[in-house]
Amino acid sequence: MSLTCQTTDEMTLRDLHQHLPEKPLYSQGETGTASEIGWLLSPKPYGITQLQLDTLTRLGPCLHHFAQAIDLLYKTSLKEPEYHWVQRLLNGHKPEQLINFSQMKRFRNVLPLVIRPDLLVTEKGFTLCEIDAVPGGIGFTGALYQAYRALGFPLVGIEAGIPKAFLNMLLQLSPPSIERPSIAVIVSDEAADYREELAWLVGTIQGFYPEISLLHPREVTLERNQLGFIRPDNTFQQIHIIYRCFELFDLPNIPQIDLIQYAIKKGLVACTPPFKPHLEEKLQLALLHSPFLEEFWVKNLGEADFYFLKDIVPQTWVLDPAVLPPHAQVVPMLNLQGKILKDFSQLGTLTQKQRELVIKPSGFSLQSWGSRGVKVGHDLSQAYWQEALEEAFSEFDNIPHILQRFENTKVESYEYFNPTSGERIHSEGRTRLCPYYFVEENEPILAGILATTCPKDKKVIHGMRDGVMRPACLVQ
């Protein structure tokens, strides 16, 4: 793989569209075209430095170790009184049936095979604001990589391409006795926005591995103690591997979920990501900063990985209305622009400058993904800030929220195509990087990077119509 990013001044929007799927990969309705993909396109990839690539290369294995450590911490909290507060925090608002299911011995050491952190690009380096355990974007990242590579850009990531890497990752879940396992990518109604990109991903894989299908949960059935679905020719097709594209909070709304869970429980199918809700909470970043857990982290992550992660993750707290439980004690001190707080009840008195903070629902909620429910403190009036705090406190027993320091992202120049005229437009914006790591044989591999650049006046960076999405390449 070439290691530098070449610019192509002659490339046009039409050139790029010729290598993109005809149908848009993000939900735009049935009449959409490739020119209405839901975001803007750039004439060149996002450039990262060698130092940034070194950080990203190190980050994948580090986050995999962190997932192992979180899983171990959760299991430890079920047994040892010293850590019971962790169990109460992670279990308190979840259905007992799901908790029991997640604790089955069959899943004891099972972890997600896709790791996708959200990294803000700041003047100081990367800031990791969250880790998505059920990430979208794999399909359209793969499609962007395919298009830009076809136009001659050498990109950072797996040379074979994201579709082949995604397939290889899933095939390792199959028992050796099954020569060509059947794979089902199951997408729920709640995750319907990602159906088109996953349809592209599955369709691309079918070109070299036909035994993969995109299914709605209602298509799943159980016959002769085999989980499967009815093919167009009216024959039954057994499923051996499931890639889950639905959130665990939505299980009561998913058709045939009892059959899917039965098949997983009985070992009839393998499923990733696993049904482990404690691995899907943003508040795990608050646990990383807990002084009460520092000894645990150092022991199970090693000093180097622990301090590397602690440095890249902004200070994060769990917004608990109770008076200073272990996980909510403000240590290190909650010092906000010179104002030192003794407990969270004082947050409502902060000035606009002092409240450079973000409130987010932690997980197990419709509001906890896709930037829903995110409140930026210095963007709110005093009244709305107080209202956001009261809402977070009142919902603690059902939807815990976290408080996180707001990190100012770096303003960079970028270029994009006018989607109508094709004209190149220069602007300034802020960028979030989403590296996708696929875990193979317990080793995370950097499959690709999706860069999202939004206008500089945006506080929260996510996929939006005036944002630019593109792959990443290495610059000298």
Residues 245 and 323 in one domain: no
Residue 234 in this model has a pLDDT that exceeds 70: yes
Look at residues 238, 272, 306 and tell me which one is the last residue of a structural domain. 272
* Lowest model confidence (mean pLDDT) among 230-244, 349-363, 429-443: 349-363
Tokens of residue 170, six digits: 């899933």
Helices 50-77/294-301 angle, 10° precision: 120
382 domain residue, yes or no: yes
Do 355 and 336 form a contact (C-beta atoms < 8 A)? yes
Q: How many structural domains compose the chain?
A: 2
72 domain residue, yes or no: no
Mean pLDDT of all residues belonging to the chain: 90
Residues 256 and 321 in one domain: no
Residues 187 and 266 in one domain: yes
Residue whose token pair is 């009561």:
252
Beta bridge partners of 336: 339
Burial of 50 (0-12, 13-18, 19+ CB in 10 A): exposed
Look at residues 353, 375, 405 and tell me which one is the last residue of a structural domain. 405
120-138 average pLDDT score: 94
Residue 107 in this model has a pLDDT that exceeds 70: yes
The three-state secondary structure class of 132 is strand
89 domain residue, yes or no: no
Residue 3 in this model has a pLDDT that exceeds 50: no
103-125 average pLDDT score: 94
* Interatomic CA distance for residues 257 and 323, integer angstroms: 39
192 domain residue, yes or no: yes
Distances (CA, A) of 333 to 289, 290, 321, 389: 12, 11, 17, 19
Burial of 471 (0-12, 13-18, 19+ CB in 10 A): buried
1-15 average pLDDT score: 66
The three-state secondary structure class of 203 is helix
* Lowest model confidence (mean pLDDT) among 116-125, 132-141, 321-330, 392-401: 321-330
How confident is the model at residue 6, as a pLDDT?
52
Residue 466 in this model has a pLDDT that exceeds 90: no
Residue 363 in this model has a pLDDT that exceeds 90: no
443-452 average pLDDT score: 97
Q: What share of the chain has pLDDT > 90, as a percent?
A: 77
Residues 326 and 263 in one domain: no
Closest CA to 184 of 227, 141, 225: 227
Q: How confident is the model at residue 459 (pLDDT cuts 50, 70, 90)?
A: confident
- Domain containing residue 364: 315-405
Residues 207 and 258 in one domain: yes
Q: Give the tens place of pLDDT for each residue, 285-344.
A: 999 999 899 999 999 999 999 999 999 999 999 998 876 555 544 445 577 777 777 778
User: φ, ψ for residue 374 (rounded to 5)?
Assistant: -80, 130
76 Cβ contact list (under 8 Å, min separation 6): 83, 86, 296
Residues 249 and 196 in one domain: yes
Residues 321 and 230 in one domain: no
* Interatomic CA distance for residues 272 and 440, integer angstroms: 13
How confident is the model at residue 320, as a pLDDT?
84
What amino acid is encoded at 79 in this protein?
Answer: K
Q: Give the tens place of pLDDT for each residue, 199-209.
A: 999 999 999 99
309 domain residue, yes or no: no
Residue whose token pair is 């429980």:
265
259 domain residue, yes or no: yes
Q: How confident is the model at residue 37 (pLDDT cuts 50, 70, 90)?
A: low
Tokens of residue 181, six digits: 């396992």
| Strands 401-405 vs 316-318: parallel, antiparallel or unpaired | antiparallel
Q: Give the tens place of pLDDT for each residue, 64-81.
A: 999 999 999 999 999 999
445-469 average pLDDT score: 89
348 domain residue, yes or no: yes
Do 143 and 25 form a contact (C-beta atoms < 8 A)? yes
* Lowest model confidence (mean pLDDT) among 38-42, 120-124, 125-129: 38-42
Burial of 105 (0-12, 13-18, 19+ CB in 10 A): exposed
How confident is the model at residue 439, as a pLDDT?
97
Kindly report the number of other CB atoms within 10 A of residue 36's CB atom: 13
* Interatomic CA distance for residues 214 and 274, integer angstroms: 18
119-132 average pLDDT score: 95
pTM assigned to the model = 0.93
Q: Give the tens place of pLDDT for each residue, 386-417.
A: 999 999 999 998 899 999 999 999 999 999 99
How confident is the model at residue 22, as a pLDDT?
80
In 433-462, which positions are buried (b, 16+ CB within 10 angstroms) versus exposed (e)?
bbbbbbbeeeebbbbbbbbbbbeeeeebbe
How confident is the model at residue 28, as a pLDDT?
42
How confident is the model at residue 2, as a pLDDT?
38
15 domain residue, yes or no: no
Residue 272 in this model has a pLDDT that exceeds 80: yes
Residues 326 and 393 in one domain: yes
CATH number at residue 255: 3.40.50.11290
Residue 5 in this model has a pLDDT that exceeds 80: no
* Interatomic CA distance for residues 294 and 285, integer angstroms: 13
How confident is the model at residue 36, as a pLDDT?
52
Look at residues 405, 425, 444 and tell me which one is the last residue of a structural domain. 405
